[in-house]
Structure 1
């Protein structure tokens, strides 16, 4: 065995299990996976939104991959991008003790096929994404709002949604019922002091006072 053989053998054995799995997933997902890599200690695959269900089937049913659990399904809003949203599927392989993140980029108004036929756990998760981000999942058996009330305006986890919301709910003593009404701020401007008294507020005030009136501080 020559020196090159030793280097090749060492290189093959030193490859991490994550990288081996990433290479395997890229191989079985050939033609579907747009890109792959290891990000923050987890495998990440980029895929077109229309091919998510097919890729989930592949990684679930492949014996070596065995990503049989859909842990979470959520979205991320990037309003400055042309394709505004990332729909993220978090997978777990118990037999390999590995996690997999599948990311599909979606533009505003684009329909994403539901994956409830592959994982029933996606049912409520897709409803939440629809409610919070306004991403529509075609083929979902019961796509309704999940966390907000009937008639709610907008989608709260979009970056352009106002922090105060559009509507506030309160109990009206006169009508003796809960009513919805537009948000009304009593103060036009509000000042918030985030300085903690446990983190040197007194010292800072003392310093400011000394600068303002040095004669008083000298006394």
Structure 2
């Protein structure tokens, strides 16, 4: 048998055993546990977020924190999926654990479980507006002071709300509401292989010849 097939089968068996262990240990805290593309994905209740992460660290070997981020589902009442990726270096296993939260109610910070989560939670707050209770320094880290909104929310306008520029007359940086000229709002949606049905700037001389 191909060694790669053997390895994949062994990995899936380890993930199934890990899934069973997590569901037995966390019981009703587990909403779902699925294996997809040789990765274990576990969804837990938000009230059991810290208890679940602590169980994975202390009882399942996931001592290495890799990443924390969010996914925005604006049509959903609990619009955010909070996602954490962990590594078990001894067993060479990875896990993705998720929970759902909204934009109003803070979720408990996992900074005390993994201190490395500190800046990741700050980024999730800055980019998505996810609130974390018990975080030692929850403030923006990528956007500017006084920034309006959260850029990675799906309802955030691509232009933003303000633009920043250096004003030579005032000799300082100024913040102003975004202003789009009308010419940048008109799109013909023609493909590159279709000829424009109007005269393009610079073509007027050619069109008058002959």
Flag whether TM exceeds 0.5 (same fold).
yes
User: Separation in 2 of the partners of 1:106 and 1:15?
Assistant: 30
User: Separation in 1 of the partners of 2:32 and 2:98?
Assistant: 10
Could you say which residue in structure 2 is the equivalent of 1:85? Answer: 80
User: Separation in 1 of the partners of 2:11 and 2:116?
Assistant: 37
Could you say which residue in structure 2 is the equivalent of 1:55? Answer: 52
Whether the 8 Å contact between 2:11 and 2:38 is mirrored in structure 1 is no
- Shift of the 29–129 alpha-carbon distance from structure 1 to 2, 3 Å rule, reads same
User: Separation in 2 of the partners of 1:83 and 1:77?
Assistant: 9
Q: Cα distance, 1:66 vs. partner?
A: 0.6
Could you say which residue in structure 1 is the equivalent of 2:14? Answer: 17
Q: Cα distance, 1:117 vs. partner?
A: 0.5
Instruction: Say yes or no: does 1:74 pair with 2:69.
Output: yes
| Higher alpha-carbon Rg | 1
SS in 2 for 1:52: helix
> Which consecutive residues of structure 1, in runs of 5 or more, have no partner in the other structure?
1-12, 206-219
Instruction: Say yes or no: does 1:190 pair with 2:186.
Output: yes
Q: Cα distance, 1:39 vs. partner?
A: 2.5
Could you say which residue in structure 1 is the equivalent of 2:109? Answer: 114
RMSD over aligned CA atoms reads 2.0
Q: Cα distance, 1:155 vs. partner?
A: 0.6
Instruction: Say yes or no: does 1:165 pair with 2:164.
Output: no
- Shift of the 92–15 alpha-carbon distance from structure 1 to 2, 3 Å rule, reads closer
> Which consecutive residues of structure 2, in runs of 5 or more, have no partner in the other structure?
1-9, 196-210
User: Separation in 2 of the partners of 1:92 and 1:14?
Assistant: 14
Q: Which structure 2 residues correspond to residues 140-159 of structure 1 after superposition, within 5 A?
A: 140-159=135-154
Could you say which residue in structure 2 is the equivalent of 1:176? Answer: 171
Whether the 8 Å contact between 2:103 and 2:131 is mirrored in structure 1 is no
User: Separation in 1 of the partners of 2:11 and 2:132?
Assistant: 42
Taking structure 1 as the reference length, the TM-score comes to 0.79
